[in-house]
Chain A
Amino acid sequence: MPEFEPRIVAFLCRWCAAAGADLAGTSRLQYPPNAIPIRVNCSGRVEPQWVVEALKAGADGVLIGGCHPGDCHYVVGNYKTRRRIYLLRRMLAEMGIEPERVRLEWISATEGARFAQVVSDFVAELKRLGPLHGNGGRG
């Protein structure tokens, strides 16, 4: 049986996290291809419901990437995200889903290496946790 490859949906804010991901590219940093990026204007746009739906639809983990505190292009969007994701993780834990499956990370436009590292770490962690849907082994 092939090794379990977790599937990740990554919501990235365009000003920082997506720009950081672009920089990882420009710097030719290799990292696992498990995360499918979806670009949003601000991490503040990410709705907890999206995260839940992603997990329902087959994701083993969801990454939300935003600007560092104080750096949000829209001033405070990432603070709102932090609160929302904190609450969401608590709710997930109550539902018996490991809160580690939802990761909120601050990644600046200059942190290409950090973006690559975050994805690598997340993939490793999800491999440890195993598949969410008992659908391991898919390619």
Chain B
Amino acid sequence: MPEIKPRIGVFVCHCGKNIAGTVDVAKLAEAASRFPGVVYATHYEYMCSDPGQALLKRAIKEHRLSGVVVAACSPTMHEETFRKAAEEAGLNPYLVEIANIREQVSWVHSGPKATEKAVRVTRAVVEKVWGDRPLEPTEIGVVRRALVVGGGIAGIQAALDIANAGFEVLLVERSPSIGGHMAQLSETFPTLDCSQCILTPKMVEVSRHPKIRILAYSELEEVSGFVGNYRVRIRKKPTYVDPAKCNLCGECAKVCPVRVPNEFDRGLSLRSAIYIPFPQAIPSTYTLDAENCLGIVPLRCGKCAEVCEAKAIDFDMQEEILEEEVGAIVLATGYELYPKEAMAEYGYGTVPDVIDGLEFERLLSASGPTRGEIRRPSDGKIPKEVVFVQCSGSRDPEHHKPYCSKICCMYTAKHALLYRHAVPAGQAYVFYIDIRAGGKDYEEFVNRAMEEERILYIRGKVAKVFREGEKVVVWGVDTLTGKRVEVRADLVVLAQAVVPSPGTEELARKLRVACGGEGFLKEAHPKLRPLEALTAGIFLAGAAQGPKDIPESVAQASGAAAKVVALLSRPKLEHPPEVAEVDEELCSGCGICAPQCPYGAITVDEVAHVNEILCEGCGTCVAACPSGAMSFRNVGDEQVLRMVRAALEVEGAGV
């Protein structure tokens, strides 16, 4: 290719007095006119104004400019403006660069030194433009459907919103039913509406929605591709029951000889191997849990199939692998409670009458193992004194989790209040560090519990919980009075820390999504981009991103859904072309670059390949390549070195 002489134009902006008051703009323009490669240089009062832009456009045409440097304010302000203007004048926008002589020169320096620095800065940027090539953004199509992972309230809300906007949704839930933890709750703070009553209609809406396909008892196995074009592999475990035939008669469960702890009741009741997690489950069908069934292989039992009149049970059902394409993914995998084993000091897991918050929800629930009567696990007695321990495992950086689990203050107040409704003669104690009731009507709710229900709030930490005869003894310190407190209780309820669902990190790895230190899915920006992952096209909803109550989970889910809808509505996606690229001649195929990339954009066979859509343009791989094969569009090594030399050239200062 013949070396074409560059024809670069330099436009120095006065920015009123902001630049011109400090930097000698005439001198700068004059010096610039003598820079190698520059054919035109001028200065103007406000380059970003309409006349300023008109001047730029005219000069591009009149002087047939092959590149433009605007010496002005920070590129974060007007790079877009000038690139657009240049494009309108027929110049490729990637041949326009900004020399920042306001924020990084005129506002921070004074005297002739300021002008000298402005000259050096501008000179360096002229060298960059000299090396720049015209680029075109990469265009890609969008698959107009979404995947939602996790069928709790967050996933349900996201799926409904996306589907109601007219896009197909695949909703993948790993347990046999959607609903998540909300299905297990009794009544919900701060209004005390029954959880099932407000959740069930939404679950039914999901199941009836023509645009939503529920894949329950399924997990995401593999993900490849990129924003707008993800390919996912979903493993659907066999339920051995045909949901189309199952009429929910329940005869199968009656004859099943197996009894195992019922997960939905958090082990407070037993279920058979063939079961429905709860009566309102969606999909509305029984599921045969192969791990506990006696009959699957070899066929030893088969009692359930014998009694099923609908002939819905099929022992030959196989696992299915589904390959699907989606344009966007919402992760709504929710939370779990900190495991029992971790709280040995509170007797959790060893003293049967020490339970966690979700177990207490099941005791409170009218459809729970005790039909809503508060009966303690060990002997079924109604507890006369109950101790609630907040922050159990939370806010304890030394031994447990450093963070606040956020929902426990509220649900503990709810628990104590509901307990008092159920057992009016009972006494409730709450140990707390402080009360965080920051939501709408939350403070009022806690006050109501404290005052109307005469719940005894003790500010302090529980040191030890142990069993003594029929009692569970709680030792604590009241930090307001400094006195030791002992409560001989009948039941202790621990507000266990909220932790990410098991498997969250593994799932995140598959999706190249980051997890924070505590394992919750990490948002792209803690303040400004809380609904999405750093990986384009992946969005976050609900407690998977951090402890959240229902209103917050729903709000985030709707927000994430709106983002998904915006993405899926775009006819095409554009990706900036300033990315890494490989010179296949030079590449040795060593593969050093690939693990450097945080986005998994590089694959290596004989040589390395960069996926332009995945590459976010950090350049880390370029710096790592030992062969000089990896380069960066418009930030080439040679280009940078020329910038460096130009910036340092003594005469180059020209003032």
Contact = CB atoms under 8 A, between A and B. Distances in A.
Interface of A: 7, 9, 19, 21-26, 28-33, 36-42, 44-50, 53-54, 57-59, 72-77, 80-81, 84, 116, 138
B623 A29 contact: no
A120 to B, nearest CB: 11
Nearest to A116: B108
Interface string B617-655: 111101110000000100101001101110111100000
B623 A38 contact: no
A125 to B, nearest CB: 19
Contacts, number: 126
Q: How big is chain B's contact interface, by range? A: 35 or more
Contacts of B246: none
Shortest 10 CB-CB contacts between residues of A and residues of B: A45-B619, A25-B103, A44-B620, A74-B618, A25-B107, A36-B647, A42-B618, A22-B103, A75-B598, A58-B648
Contacts of A74: 598-599, 616, 618, 620
B56 interface: no
A77 B104 contact: no
A41 B619 contact: yes
Contact of B107 (A28, A40, A73): A28
Contact of A76 (B110, B124, B598): B598
B114 interface: yes
A36 B121 contact: yes
The residue in A54, A72, A138 that gathers the most chain B C-beta atoms within 10 A of its C-beta is A54
Interface string B533-544: 010000000000
Contacts of A23: 103
A19 B644 contact: no
A59 to B, nearest CB: 6
A21 B109 CA distance: 13
Main secondary structure of the interface of B (DSSP, over half): helix
Contact of B619 (A9, A42, A59, A75): A42
6 contacts: A22-B100, A33-B109, A44-B618, A44-B620, A48-B623, A49-B637
B534 A19 contact: no
A26 B644 contact: no
Nearest to B105: A33
Contacts of A31: 108-109
A33 B117 contact: yes
A21 B623 contact: no
B37 to A, nearest CB: 18
Given A33-B116, A39-B100, A77-B619, 20 more contacts: A22-B104, A33-B109, A36-B121, A36-B647, A37-B104, A37-B121, A39-B75, A41-B635, A45-B618, A45-B632, A46-B623, A47-B622, A48-B623, A50-B637, A50-B641, A57-B645, A58-B648, A75-B514, A77-B598, A116-B108
Contacts of B624: 80
A39 B649 CA distance: 19
A137 to B, nearest CB: 12
Contact of A80 (B100, B114, B596, B632): B596
A9 B648 contact: yes
Interface in B123-138: 124
B122 to A, nearest CB: 10
A6 to B, nearest CB: 11
A14 to B, nearest CB: 8
A64 B534 CA distance: 24
B247 interface: no
Given A19-B76, A22-B104, A38 B618 contact: no
B648 A21 contact: no
A59 B76 contact: no
A117 to B, nearest CB: 12
Contact of A25 (B102, B121, B619, B623): B102
